[in-house]
Amino acid sequence: MVQPSKLVTIVGARPQFIKAFALSRALAEAADFEEILVHTGQHFDANMSTVFFEELGIRRPKYHFDVQASEPGAAVAQMISAIEGALQTEKPGAVIVYGDTNSTLAGALAAAQARIPLVHVEAGMRSFNRRMPEEVNRIVADHLSDMHLCVTHSAAENLAREGIVRNVHVVGDLMQDATHLATETAERTSTILKRLSLAQKGYGVATVHRAGNTDDPNLLAGLFDFIAAEAQRRPIVFPIHPRTARAAAEFGLDPCRMGVIVIEPVGYLDMCHLLHHAKIVLTDSGGLQKEAYFHRVPCVTLRDETEWVETIACGWNRLWTVPDYRERREIADFGQGDAAAKIVQCLRDGLQRPAN
Ligand code: UDP
């Protein structure tokens, strides 16, 4: 018999491991759910995947695929096929997908084809820029989902504008939960400031990874120049994403300039510690824009738009094309580190249990 309390969660990319870190432990504590983790293999390097499972104690995925097609369409097709097999074996009561990656899209399509209820965590985010692959992934996932778990009220409003009003819940941000869970441990254990000879509040952190930025040589060169200009004021730590490193090599661009400390991607605890003591964050990452706020560090978003409009409206973030911040206020929507508990309750209320 199908057990609605059996959940399959699809992960594959770095931000999804962080979100799973927060939700999977709440599901394990809740005891009335059995969660099976499926890793698509989208991110596979030790420092983009393994480190998060090890240092955050995330349960080993029961299924760990190895999808490494070079073209996104082929990768998504292989992921769908792999996930389909896992769903046929597990017959879960629901499938959970996070965010907006190719793994999200593949999980959503596989669940919809198998007619298994789909739960989208971080539903309703919109950049209103369909040239971004992430935007397409989000829209498809939202329109296939049976339960929409939104971080913010503006995300729920985005869904309503597209006619999605049933089973929409604003639950806050799992990344806030993860920050709550990890900051103290990071303060105790991370040695990254010492290793890089950085003083608290004396440096900035930069990351770049979006295809929209890395695929365009002129744009990428402009971003490297922007980071280098900021590094004239204070050292900037730049943990470089593998895609960005590949693009820089291909275009003959050198991110290493005076004051820019280019390092391999770091684990979450080191990143948490770096963010906690940073003076500024420069990033095109959705996660980092919010984490900058969680640590109350001003952010500059290296894109021409952002989905996380509250961070701009409340003065903690600005686009790199806009010189000024707005007046600074707290952001209520992200929650107090209680998003996982709210999600567990939504799943309890929203998934039908079989009659005995
Ligand atoms: N992150 C990390 N190490 C790094 C860069 C990022 O642990 O070297 C974490 C970061 O703190 C955040 C998440 O990875 O929790 C963000 O992932 P990413 O920027 O790849 O994706 P996005 O948030 O843009 O979807």
Taking CA atoms only, the protein residue closest to ligand 1 atom 8 is: 265
Give the model's pLDDT for residue 211. Answer: 93
Give the model's pLDDT for residue 327. Answer: 97
The model's confidence at residue 3, banded by pLDDT at 50, 70 and 90, is very low
Q: Is the CB of 303 within 6 Å of ligand 1?
A: no
Stretch 16-21: mean pLDDT:
98
Residue 253 and residue 227 in contact, taking contact as beta carbons nearer than 8 Å: no
Residue 77 and residue 110 in contact, taking contact as beta carbons nearer than 8 Å: no
Q: Is the CB of 55 within 6 Å of ligand 1?
A: no
pTM reported for the whole predicted model: 0.95
Averaged confidence pLDDT in the chain? 95
Give the model's pLDDT for residue 89. Answer: 98
| pLDDT tens by residue, 244-270 | 999 999 999 999 999 999 999 999 999
Burial of 109 (0-12, 13-18, 19+ CB in 10 A): buried
- CA 62-67-70 angle, 5° bins: 165
- Please list, in sequence order, all residues whose beta carbon lies within 8 angstroms of the beta carbon of residue 222, skipping any fewer than 6 positions away: none
Of all residues in the chain, the percent with pLDDT exceeding 90 is 93
Give the model's pLDDT for residue 352. Answer: 56
SS3 string, the chain, reads CCEEEEEEEEECCHHHHHHHHHHHHHHHHHCCCEEEEEECCCCCCHHHHHHHHHHHCCCCCCEECCCCCCCHHHHHHHHHHHHHHHHHHHCEEEEEEECCCHHHHHHHHHHHHCCCCEEEECCCCCCCCCCCHHHHHHHHHHHHCCEEEECCHHHHHHHHHCCCCCCEEECCCHHHHHHHHHHHHHHHHCCHHHHCCCCCCCCEEEECCCHHHHCCHHHHHHHHHHHHHHCCCCCEEEECCHHHHHHHHHHCCCCCCCCEEEECCCCHHHHHHHHHCCCEEEECCHHHHHHHHHCCCCEEECCCCCCCHHHHHCCCEEECCCCCCCCCCCCCCCCCCCHHHHHHHHHHHHCCCCCC
Taking CA atoms only, the protein residue closest to ligand 1 atom 13 is: 15
Res. 209: pLDDT tops 90: yes
Res. 95: pLDDT tops 50: yes
- For the annotated catalytic residues, the residue numbers are 209
Mutate to test the pocket of ligand 1, among 17, 97, 196, 207 (most ligand atoms within 8 A of CB): 207
Stretch 241-246: mean pLDDT:
96
Res. 306: pLDDT tops 90: yes
Distance CA 120, CA 142 (A): 7
Ligand 1, residue 268: give the atom nearest the CA.
7
Residue 259 sits at φ, ψ, to 5 deg, of: 90, -10
Q: Is 186-333 a CATH 3.90.1150.10 domain?
A: no
Ligand 1, residue 99: give the atom nearest the CA.
25
Distance CA 175, CA 50 (A): 19
Stretch 46-65: mean pLDDT:
94
Stretch 106-135: mean pLDDT:
97
Query: Judging by DSSP bridges, how do beta strands 236-239 and 260-263 pair with one another?
Result: parallel
Ligand 1, residue 275: give the atom nearest the CA.
11
The model's confidence at residue 45, banded by pLDDT at 50, 70 and 90, is confident
Which residue in this structure is represented by tokens 């998060």? 52
C-alpha of residue 15 to centroid of ligand 1, in Å: 5
Stretch 107-116: mean pLDDT:
98
Q: Is 6-172+338-351 a CATH 3.40.50.2000 domain?
A: yes
Q: Is the CB of 268 within 6 Å of ligand 1?
A: yes
Res. 355: pLDDT tops 50: no
Res. 314: pLDDT tops 60: yes
Where do you find CATH 3.40.50.2000 in the chain? 6-172+338-351, 186-333
Which is nearest to 264 in space by CA: 286, 237, 301? Answer: 237
Mutate to test the pocket of ligand 1, among 237, 288, 308 (most ligand atoms within 8 A of CB): 288
283 forms bridges with which residues in the sheet?
Answer: 207, 301
Q: Is the CB of 52 within 6 Å of ligand 1?
A: no
Q: Is the CB of 18 within 6 Å of ligand 1?
A: yes
Ligand 1, residue 210: give the atom nearest the CA.
24
* From 64-68, 86-90, 121-125, 137-141, the region with the lowest mean pLDDT: 64-68
Q: Could you tell me how many residues make up the chain?
A: 356
Give the model's pLDDT for residue 188. Answer: 97
Distance CA 266, CA 273 (A): 11
Residue 248 and residue 222 in contact, taking contact as beta carbons nearer than 8 Å: no
Taking CA atoms only, the protein residue closest to ligand 1 atom 23 is: 287
The model's confidence at residue 356, banded by pLDDT at 50, 70 and 90, is very low
